[in-house]
Structure 1
Amino acid sequence: MNDRYAMSRRAVLLGVAAVATSCSSSGGRSATSTPTSGTPAATTAPTGPAPPSGGTPATTTPSALPTVTAWAPDPGDVQPQVKQRAVTLVSALGAWPPGGQGPEAARARLAAQGFDPGLADRAGSLSSPAPEAVLEVVDAQYGGILDDTASVLVVCRRWTRAEDGTVTADGSTVDVRLSRATPVWTVTTLYPSDPGPAAASLSAQASRILADSRIILPPAATADVRAGAVHASVLTALETLAADHTIDVSVLRSGHPINVFGTNRPSDHPRGRAVDVWRIDGRSVVDPTTPRALVEGFMRAGAAAGSYNVGGPYQLSGAAFFSDPTHRDHVHLGFTT
C-alpha cells in the first residue's frame, strides 16, 4: 500500500463450486496501465500450468484444473469480515463451474451472494469466455481501512479451461471498494488490474528480479516488471532485501489505489515507486505468531535500502517509519526517485 494515511492479507481460494460460501471510494480509482495475507492454508498445492510471469498467459496441453483451497482471514486481521466480503466477490466473478461463463451467469452468482449484479459489468480481467475457471487468492491486503469505507486488494491467480481442455493460467489484483452497512459491508465498485503490455526489452535488473526465486511476485506484479513500469529504486531494494530474506510481494504498481486512501495525495505505487510485502521468510506480516523482530528488522532493512516511507504493523523510531490499521497486514516501502 502506500504512504502514511493508507490503512491494512492472505492466501488461498475457491472455485465457484465453493462460491456458495461467502467501496464508497475515498481513495480514487486504482492503478492500471495508465496511472489513473496471510499464510496459505496447508492443503494440496495447485497442479497444472504455473501462473504466468507476465505477458502472454501460460497455456498447456489439455489437463485438469488445479485444486485450490478457500481463503480465510487471519486472527490478526483488522475487520476480517471486510476482507472476506471482498474475496467472496472476486471469487464469484473470477471462478465458475463448467458452463458458468458469461455475464449473465456472473450476475446470477453475484445476486446469489447478496451483491449488486451490476458489478459484473466491471469484471474486466476477471471475465473470460472459457467454460470453466478456478481462482486462488494469494493475499487479501488492505489498500485502506477507515471507519466507514475500505479498499481491499485481492491478489489472485486463476486457471481457465477451454472447450478443447487446454488450461491457461493468468491472474490479477483487484481493488475492491466497500462501505459500512449492516449486516455486512457493501461492495460499491471494483477495479481489476490492467498492467499493460510487456516492454519490447527488459533491463538486466528486471530480468534478474523475475528470475530470483527469493522474490515471489504474483501475476499482476510480475506483469508490472515486464512492462518496465517499476522504478529501478524499487528493484534495487528488492534485490538487496532478497540477499537476506525470501520476500512475498503483494503489490507493486497495478491494482493499487491512485491516491493514498482517504486523501487526495498521490500514492507512490501507481508511479512505480513502491512495493508492498505481505510475507517474509514464509511468515505473514499479519500473523500474530510471526516474530516481531523479523518484521521490525525487515522494516529497518527497507529504510537502509533507500525507502523514505516505511509502513508496517509496528511504529518504529525515526522519520521514515509509520504505522496504522492499513499496514497491520504488510510492509510498505516507498521511494522518492
Structure 2
Amino acid sequence: MQYVHLAGTNAKGSTAQYIAGILSQGHTCGLFTSPHIISPCERMRIGGQDIPKQQYEEYMEKARGEKDAHLFSVWTNAALLWFRDNHVEYAVIETGLGGRLDPTNIVPSKMQVLTPISYDHMALLGDTLTKIAREKCGIIKPDSVVVSHPQEEEAMRVIRAACARQNARLIVLDAGGIHVHQSGVGGQAFDFTYEGKRYRDLFIHAASPMQVQNACVALIAAVELGIPEGEIREGLKETLIAARAQVCGDIVIDGAHNPAALRELSRTLHRYFAGRDTTVLAAVMRDKDIMAITREIATFADRVVCTCADKKRGLPAHELQPYFPCAQAVEDPRAAFLGARALAKQKGGILVVCGSFYLASCVLALLSQDA
C-alpha cells in the first residue's frame, strides 16, 4: 500500500478528494478525511464509496482498543484496518489536527502534500505561522516527495528547512501555470502547465477559485506517482466536493471556519453573486478566533442569523449575535435555517451558510429532506 499524507490549515480535504478521485480511476484507492458532512461513514472510502454502516461499526469496534482512546484515533485505526483488509493499492490520508502529533502520522508515506497553512487551532499548534508550520511539517518523512500549495513566506521557510533535514524533494505549485478560461457556479475549465507539459481543458465541478489550485496540486501529485493523463482528467472531472462553496439554487453552503477560508468564500461570492443581497446563516465553535471570523463574515453579509450547530463546542447564538452590527439569534439550527431562507427569499437575494462544518452538515441534511 502506498500512502499519500496531507496536512495544512485549509483545502486539505478537497485536495485529498481530488487525489483519491484520480487514483481511483486505475487503482484501488482508500480515502480517509474529516470532518464528515452527513454520516461518519464518509470518513472512510474506497473507490469513492463510503464504508457500509455495518462494516463501519465492526471496524470501529476492532479499532477501539483502550476504552478511553480518542475518537479520532479510533477513526484513523479503523480506516487503516479497513484499507489493509481490502488490499487497497493507495491510501490518501488527511491529518485531523496539526501533523507531528496527529494520529495519522503513523503511516509510512513516501509522498506528503502541504495545503495552505494559516492561523487556526492556535491554542494547540502555536500562535505564529512558524510554530503552526512546524507542526504541519511533522508529517514529512526521509527521502520523500513533498508537494505544496503556495505558502506565506514565513511558512515556506519552515517547509524548506524541514525538507532539507529529511532530504525530501520539495515541489511547490506555480500558480502562474494556471489559466482559467471558463468559470461558473457549475464548475471551471482551465489549463495547467507542469514540467513543460500543458494540460489543456481540465474541468472540475467546483465554483471556488481555490479549488483550481487544489486540483492542480492533485495533478502534480498524480504525475509524480506516474498516473497517466487520461486518468487525471477523469478523476478531476468526476470528483464532487460537498460543503465547499456548494451552490444549491440560491443557497451557498461552505464549511469555512477560519479567516483564510472565509476570505476565499468572500472571493467566490464576489465573483458569482456580486451585487446580490446576502443573508448569512452562521455558527462558530467556541475555540475559534471569533473576532477574526466574524470580521470576515461581515464583509459579505447584509444581515446575519446566528445559531449554534453543536451544543458541546459551539458558541451559543446569543453570544455570537453581538459580534455583528445587524444580526438576530436563533439557537435551534433548524429554525434558524428556515427563518434565514425565508428572509433571503423575501429580500430576493442569496443565503450563505458558513462558519462551521456542523452547520453545513445540518443544512445539507435539511435540504435532502426537502428533495
Structure showing greater relative contact order (alpha-carbon pairs closer than 8 Å, 6 or more residues apart)? 1
Same-fold call, TM > 0.5? no
Larger fraction in helix: 2
In our comparison, the structure showing a higher alpha carbon Rg is 2
